[in-house]
Structure 1
Amino acid sequence: MALNLTSNKPPVRRHRWLSQLIAIIALINLGLVFFNLSYIPWRDLYLQYLPKVTQLYDPFKGIEPHRETQKYLDKVNQLEAEISQIGLESPELEILLSELRSLSNQMIAENPFALANKSGNLEKIKNQMRDRIGMESAREAFNQFWSLSYLTEANWRKELNFFNRHIRPSIESNYYRHIDTNGKFVDNFWLIDLPFVILFCLDFLVRTFSLSRANPQLNWLQAMLRRWYDLPLLLPFGRWLRVVPVTLRLHQADLIDLEPIRQQINHDFVANFAEEITEVVGVRMIGQVQESIQRGDVTRWLFHPENRRPYIDINNTNEAIAIASRIIQLSIYDVIPQVQPDIEALVSHIIASALNQSPVYKQLQNVPGLHNLGNQLTDNLAKDLSGTAYKTLTATIEDPVVAELTSRLVQNFQKGLELELKKKQHQTVIQSLLVDMLEEIKINYVKGIAEGGVEKILSESEQLRQLVRQ
């Protein structure tokens, strides 16, 4: 089916500003829906560039800092504060380094990143630490890194800057997400979405009620079905489908113009399928006529209308006989008077030709004063004969006895024609000729579509639609 957006576009309304406002609100809601869908996959980016957003939105997703990784970062903060205040000579420094070595081994063994599906971050941390220390074992690399001797020799400020720049962001990205009673991750986006849904529901009810009042043939339920595309705005699942009603509302409110897109979609759709559909329909229709002729259905249909089953007769009339009678009446009352001069000229020529063959007529032509008498007699006789014949014909048509005799003649002619058509030799020849003629039509029909294509037809249709719009 071709896409039709203009039929959904309402006429100019007094409160168009309200429709535009609702459309803008729907667009904002759609943006929030896509933000919610993208939040978990893109949380690392939000955390890096928009940390305030993660602080506000994490509670709606049931997200909180993971206790193990957060404890690890807290220990690093304590270590950094202790060294900054007292230096490497602090008596508590070795205790903090020992705890960090233990937490590092625990982190590698238990993988607290798995619940958040961030095991890749742990591998990244391990690789970075191996490269930094130059060891194959991540455990040994962490143990070396969190040692007093290494921090003293390698410049502790430089190493802690490395940790904060490369290791800390990967650890901070880890989180713990709560699970509800249904075994699914907590997602309270519905609290944000609920006011929008209530607004859309009220708008839907008002629109459909107004539509049912404006169209008496529609009840309220039918009006709701007519605006089926608004339903995604009301449903708490499949929210990404709201892109359909939002787009249509923006178009209907004249905030965006989808007409060029609609025209292109319609053109591509029709161009891809119209040629094949037209061929299939045309060939199938002609093929059915051929099969009907081969079965003899056409003969039975013409001569036995009472046996057409199933067949709906809307006027209790034999259309074939009625059409023949109508043609005869048109010929006598309307056509013959128009060709009367031609008939008279033909009759005059026939009479003159017959008289010219008579010796008596030739001798009369030589008598003085009678030279033009033959032509006058011929013309008058032709007029009298044609006029008399026409009057006789019209009188005959209006005579009830003639009508009865004509009806009997038509019936007998029909029976005689049917009898002859039923003879095998005639039926075979006529059916063969008709089938061959339809086969030629079928071949040339498909050939014409293949050669001409549908692009010309589509172009003409588009020009006609433009003229209608103007």
Structure 2
Amino acid sequence: MSSQPRWQKIAALIALVNLGLVLFNLSYIPARSFYWQVIPSLVNLYDPIKGITPHPETQNYLAQVNQLEEQLEQTELSSAQVEASFLELQILSYRMIDENPFEGVNPGNTLETIKSRIRNRVGENSSRDAFTTFWSSDYFNRFGWQAEIEFFNQEIRPLIATNYYREIGRFGGLVDYFWLIDLPFISFFVGEIFARTYFLSRRKPDLTWLGAILRRWYDLFLIFPFIRWLRIIPVTIRLYQVGWLNLKPLQKQINYDFAISFAGELTEIVGIQVIDQMQDAIKRGDVSNWLFHPETRRPYIQLNNRNEAKAIAGRLVNISIHDVLPQIQPDLKALLHHSLENTLIQLPIYEQLQNIPGLGDLPTRFTEQLAQNLSQAACQNAIEAMENPTTTELTKRLVTNFREVLETELQKKHNLQEIEELLVDMLEEIKFNYVKTLAEGGIERILEEADQLHQLI
């Protein structure tokens, strides 16, 4: 980023200055009172740009106060000139209360603040009475005119001084000459966009001028004379490109949030759509047709000339007989021994043998030996049956007959209908319990794992 050409840094700095002026211009009218209190010289400089002139009524009011202050310094409180000024200020105060010259600038708030401060100062409930009392020789004489004039200059004058009047242009809108300040910046960025587009089209003849401009579409906000606040977009991008602003954490978080939202919604939509299609297929009878009418199935393409389903089934059978059965033979023996012993207990001869001396443990030894022989024989016969062609043929016939009888029973309307309803309900439960759970919580975990994988790589 720091190796960017100097020209790009200069352009980014100019764009940043322009954005600062735009934001100041947007904030000037709402924050003019603040600027007036903090930097009054800036207000005096910028007011003409916004077509702002002092409001004649409030300026006349302040001028009358200035005249009264000069008279008080030169003459007595009881002089005719001072009394005339007091009377004029009372009339102007009544007019200010009735007409509210602050309405176009700060409707209600400024005038209400002025009235509240005057009422609190003189202890009157009525604003008109408060101004009548305040602008009187008796009140100034009682509390001292210097203190009251100082109060006015500190508490009331700044509020009245913030009032202004905005000129109306020839087209009926408020006067605003900010475009004169903005015009050099717009001209600069028009020239920059034109030059960049020209050189880019020269390097890539297949690229049209419109395509070259749209590659940096966000720079167009720099030349629009309206919605100027959108210039924050190209300025932010330019500052990032020259290395003055680090947007990688923000970019990473935006991508992360977008990925979670998009992937979650996509997973939920796809999962629900697949399950809905399966439910519709079951309700239409497609599953039963596929099971019970093989002629309606699509031809199944074998990629390696091998039926994987049959191979898996055969492998499972071999593992069960050759590896699993020998290991569970003790359990099979215990089960047979328990079954035989329970059977013998129910025979009358078993109880008689128990009473013969020397033969009491014969039934137990007999059942244990028999269980041992039967379990060994079962395992051995199962292994030999796998290699016996006759057994294989009988097993195949058993499976075929079982399937045919099962199909016949399943095709009965009440059985088929019940199974279809159960399948639809089961898929509905899967939709709510697994698909939405995956969309809500599983995506974030997957993205975290992907992020860890990228860091390891």
Which TM-score applies when normalising by structure 1? 0.64
Tell me, what secondary structure is at the counterpart of 1:222?
Answer: helix
Rounded to whole Å, the distance in 1 between the matches of 2:160 and 2:435 is: 69
- Out of 274, 280, 284, the residue aligned to residue 269 of structure 2 is 280
Equivalent residues, number: 349
Deviation at 1:81, TM superposition (A): 1.9
Q: Which residue of 2 aligns with 1:115?
A: 104
Rounded to whole Å, the distance in 2 between the matches of 1:444 and 1:145 is: 77
- Out of 33, 39, 55, the residue aligned to residue 44 of structure 1 is 33
8 A contact 2:4–2:242 mirrored in 1: no
- Out of 437, 449, 456, the residue aligned to residue 460 of structure 1 is 449
- Out of 55, 74, 94, the residue aligned to residue 63 of structure 2 is 74
Deviation at 1:257, TM superposition (A): 1.0
Rounded to whole Å, the distance in 2 between the matches of 1:212 and 1:14 is: 24
Deviation at 1:89, TM superposition (A): 6.1
Q: Deviations over 1:337-364 (max 9, x none)?
A: xxxxxxxxxxxxxxxxxxxxxxxxxxxx
Rounded to whole Å, the distance in 1 between the matches of 2:9 and 2:215 is: 21
8 A contact 1:82–1:90 mirrored in 2: no
Rounded to whole Å, the distance in 2 between the matches of 1:77 and 1:451 is: 72
Mapped pair 1:104 → 2:93: yes
Output aligned runs, 1:241-280, within 5 Å.
241-280=230-269
8 A contact 1:116–1:175 mirrored in 2: yes
Output aligned runs, 1:428-439, within 5 Å.
439=427
Deviation at 1:155, TM superposition (A): 0.6
Bigger shift: 287-296 or 26-35? 287-296
Mapped pair 1:327 → 2:318: no
Q: Sequence identity of aligned pairs in percent?
A: 48
One-letter code aligned to 1:170: L
Deviation at 1:102, TM superposition (A): 2.0
Q: 1:283 to 1:112 in 2, by over 3 A?
A: closer
8 A contact 1:116–1:177 mirrored in 2: no
Q: Which residue of 2 aligns with 1:26?
A: 15
Rounded to whole Å, the distance in 2 between the matches of 1:94 and 1:441 is: 92
Q: Deviations over 1:195-217 (max 9, x none)?
A: 11111222222333444445555
Mapped pair 1:198 → 2:187: yes
- Out of 146, 152, 157, the residue aligned to residue 163 of structure 1 is 152
Show structure 1 runs of 5+ residues with no match: 1-11, 306-319, 330-420
Q: Deviations over 1:405-458 (max 9, x none)?
A: xxxxxxxxxxxxxxxx9xx969x99x97xx88x959878962882696122311
Rounded to whole Å, the distance in 2 between the matches of 1:166 and 1:281 is: 68
Q: Which residue of 1 aligns with 2:366?
A: none
Q: Which residue of 1 aligns with 2:220?
A: 231
8 A contact 1:208–1:220 mirrored in 2: yes
Q: 1:450 to 1:148 in 2, by over 3 A?
A: closer
Deviation at 1:88, TM superposition (A): 3.5
Rounded to whole Å, the distance in 2 between the matches of 1:145 and 1:289 is: 87
Q: Deviations over 1:5-56 (max 9, x none)?
A: xxxxxxx797522212212221221121111111111111000111011101
Bigger shift: 44-53 or 279-288? 279-288
Q: Which residue of 2 aligns with 1:413?
A: none
Tell me, what secondary structure is at the counterpart of 2:176?
Answer: coil
One-letter code aligned to 1:127: S
8 A contact 1:79–1:96 mirrored in 2: yes
Q: 1:217 to 1:459 in 2, by over 3 A?
A: farther
Mapped pair 1:179 → 2:179: no
Rounded to whole Å, the distance in 1 between the matches of 2:139 and 2:70 is: 18
Tell me, what secondary structure is at the counterpart of 2:181?
Answer: helix
Bigger shift: 70-79 or 452-461? 452-461
Rounded to whole Å, the distance in 2 between the matches of 1:108 and 1:160 is: 20
8 A contact 1:100–1:146 mirrored in 2: yes
Deviation at 1:96, TM superposition (A): 2.1
Deviation at 1:225, TM superposition (A): 2.3
Deviation at 1:66, TM superposition (A): 0.5
Q: Which residue of 2 aligns with 1:348?
A: none
Q: 1:425 to 1:149 in 2, by over 3 A?
A: closer
Which TM-score applies when normalising by structure 2? 0.65
8 A contact 2:8–2:242 mirrored in 1: yes
Rounded to whole Å, the distance in 2 between the matches of 1:210 and 1:304 is: 62
Tell me, what secondary structure is at the counterpart of 1:157?
Answer: helix
Output aligned runs, 1:311-460, within 5 Å.
324=302, 327-328=304-305, 439=427, 446=435, 449=438, 453-460=442-449
Q: Which residue of 2 aligns with 1:337?
A: none
Show structure 2 runs of 5+ residues with no match: 307-406
Q: 1:450 to 1:132 in 2, by over 3 A?
A: closer
Deviation at 1:466, TM superposition (A): 4.6
Rounded to whole Å, the distance in 2 between the matches of 1:442 and 1:109 is: 70
Rounded to whole Å, the distance in 1 between the matches of 2:135 and 2:440 is: 81
Rounded to whole Å, the distance in 2 between the matches of 1:178 and 1:155 is: 41
Deviation at 1:464, TM superposition (A): 4.6
RMSD: 3.9
Q: Deviations over 1:74-107 (max 9, x none)?
A: 1111221222244536553222222222222222
Rounded to whole Å, the distance in 2 between the matches of 1:263 and 1:252 is: 16
8 A contact 1:118–1:174 mirrored in 2: no
Rounded to whole Å, the distance in 2 between the matches of 1:169 and 1:272 is: 53
Q: Deviations over 1:208-260 (max 9, x none)?
A: 34444455553211222232222221211111111122111111221111110
Q: 1:290 to 1:99 in 2, by over 3 A?
A: closer
Q: 1:15 to 1:259 in 2, by over 3 A?
A: closer
Bigger shift: 187-196 or 456-465? 456-465
Mapped pair 1:207 → 2:184: no
Tell me, what secondary structure is at the counterpart of 1:64?
Answer: strand
Tell me, what secondary structure is at the counterpart of 1:256?
Answer: coil
